[in-house]
Amino acid sequence: MNFELKNTVNTDKEMKSKAKTNITINQLTPSQIVDELNKYIIGQENAKKSVAIALRNRWRRQQVREEMRDEIMPNNIIMIGPTGVGKTEIARRISKLANAPFVKVEASKFTEVGYVGRDVESMIRELTDLSVNIVKTDKQNEVKQKAEDNTIERILDIILPQVKKKSDKPSDNSEAAIADENNTSEELNSKTRDKLRKQIKDGKLDDRIIELDLAGDNMPMMQVLGPIGLEEMGLNLQDLFGNIMPKKSRKRKLSIAEAKKVLSQEEAQKLIDMDSVMKEAIEKVQNSGIVFIDEIDKIAGSNSKSSSGADVSREGVQRDLLPIVEGSTVITKYGPVKTDHILFIASGAFHISKPSDLIPELQGRFPIRVELNSLNEEDFYKILTQPENALIKQYSALLETEGVKLTFKDTSIKEIARVAAEVNEQVENIGARRLHTILTILLEDILFDIPDKNKRKTIDIDKELVAAKLSKIVKNRDLSRYIL
């Protein structure tokens, strides 16, 4: 089976000029995948290399003969490193690059079977829900034009219903006259509808109010009390009883512009085959789904023989997680989903525990281990300037909406990077997330005053301004703990 890897990363004018919008997975070598990741993530070459190989291996597996295909297991990865160094971003970017369903879960949110909390199978149900939405959206885009045409016809039927032919048989010899009258009415009706159809398409009637019969919800919202809700079971009362309960409609008055949106969704829903959508979505999950398990170090127990109750509970979560990662079948509301070839990427800081504290069986299911490096001052400078979504570019774009050009001098960027590195070292190392906090404090007054008071068209951020804004906070360690 050949599945496509589309470049779905957010693009600007520079990206569009590179003409990489429809890259198939067999055209992307591991080095090209790393190049794509480099646009958004600074450093961490070992982690990028590992995920690039894992992604390429998914395509390679599809090319081998069928009897061998099921034997090839995914290269599950454990990323080891402090917070804010790019672990989650790497996983999120490769999912966009692969146009694959991706879900991030926190291992600490799961509990052992029999206890109140999320069960581990819920991550696969969530992944399947996401995959169905992805496939459904793709299918709706394919029938978008047809749905819009049907929508216009429905609106036309409300504004100007079609003329029906008179079926009553005449009692005298006036058949020809009645036929002429019918033809004239139909022709006039058709011409008027054509004129209105063009006006609706051009948006000339968007403000006109019409009354629609729209399908309403059959059943009220229900809350199920207990350790596991219906959403965790992958069930839905509407799905269970929707075909039994008669569908009710309700009248709503909407403008034609609003009616277009509502009716287009209804018509698109009618045109797609949900059975094929669910089948394709499940196949997409099984062959290209990615699950990112964060904070896996929080469920790593101690290796000591006298394990505490908390350690036993954490080990229970690991044992519940094992069959999902190892390969099992999870029942979802769309049907059974096999997890054998889903790619699992786990991450954790492992400050207190070690990867070897995980149970041996689970360790064996994550054969690739990658250590990510802490970020230094030079890395922060690159993060602020090089990525496609750099924070400085984001804030410049925000102020551009106010007609203000925000510029950062190179010395000011270096000062921001220095402050971030210093605060991380003195207070708590939260990696690149520190930059977001510092820039928010640095630009707080500007962002507040620009709409009302400041009429400048250009604002330059220099080193002196950065030092003046941040020096007191950096020097006062107690204050830094709360603000930075």
pLDDT of residue 340: 92
Name the pairing type of β-strands 77-80 and 405-408.
Answer: unpaired
Rounded to whole angstroms, how far apart are CA atoms 89 and 62? 26
pLDDT surpassing 90 at residue 338? yes
**Residues with Cβ < 8 Å from 420, sequence gap 6 or more?**
377, 380, 434, 435, 438
pLDDT band at residue 71, thresholds of 50, 70 and 90? confident
Averaged pLDDT, 348-362? 86
At 399-420, the pLDDT tens digits run: 888 888 889 999 999 999 998 8
Give which of 437, 443, 438 is closest to 460, Cα–Cα. Answer: 443
At 174-226, the pLDDT tens digits run: 655 555 555 677 777 778 888 888 888 888 888 888 888 776 554 444 444 44
| Residues of each domain in the chain carrying CATH 1.10.8.60 | 377-478
Range 18-25, long-range pairs (CB < 8 A, 24+ positions)? 25/55, 25/56, 25/58, 25/59, 25/98
pLDDT band at residue 280, thresholds of 50, 70 and 90? very high
**18 SS3 class:** coil
What architecture is domain 377-478? Orthogonal Bundle (1.10)
pLDDT surpassing 60 at residue 168? no
pLDDT of residue 373: 86
CA dihedral 208, 213, 217, 219 (to 10 degrees): 140
pLDDT surpassing 80 at residue 83? yes
More confident: 58 or 124: 124
Rounded to whole angstroms, how far apart are CA atoms 162 and 178? 18
pLDDT surpassing 70 at residue 140? yes
Query: What's the whole-model pTM score?
Result: 0.74
Read off the amino acid at residue 122. S
Give which of 365, 352, 366 is closest to 314, Cα–Cα. Answer: 352
**How far is the CA of 461 from the CAs of 373, 378, 409, 484, in angstroms?**
30, 19, 6, 20
| Residues of each domain in the chain carrying CATH 3.40.50.300 | 13-138+285-371
DSSP run (H or E) holding 292: strand 290-294
pLDDT band at residue 303, thresholds of 50, 70 and 90? low
Q: Tell me the two tokens of residue 428.
A: 């708590």
Q: What is the mean pLDDT of the chain?
A: 78
CATH code linked to domain 13-138+285-371: 3.40.50.300
